[in-house]
Structure 1
Amino acid sequence: MEPLLCPSCKTNRTRFNLIAQQVKQVKLNPQSGSVEQEFAEDAGPFHMSYQGPDYRVQCAVCGLNENMDMFVKMAQFHKQ
Structure 2
Amino acid sequence: MIAPYLCPNCKTNRSRYHLLEQSPQAVKLNPQSGEIMEQYDSSSLDPFHLPYKGTSKRVQCGSCGLIEDEQSFVKFAESHPAKLQ
Q: What stretches of structure 2 of length at least 5 have no aligned partner?
A: none
Output one character per residue of 1:1-56: Cα deviation in whole Å (capped at 9) or x when no partner: 21100011111111100111111000011111100000122212110000111011
Q: How many residues align?
A: 80
Query: Where do 4+ consecutive residues of structure 1 move more than 6 Å?
Result: none
Q: Within 5 Å, which residues of 2 pair with 1:1-80?
A: 1-41=2-42, 42-80=44-82
User: TM-score if structure 2 supplies the norm length?
Assistant: 0.89
Q: What stretches of structure 1 of length at least 5 have no aligned partner?
A: none
- Percent same amino acid at aligned positions? 47
RMSD between superposed Cα atoms in Å: 0.8
User: TM-score if structure 1 supplies the norm length?
Assistant: 0.94
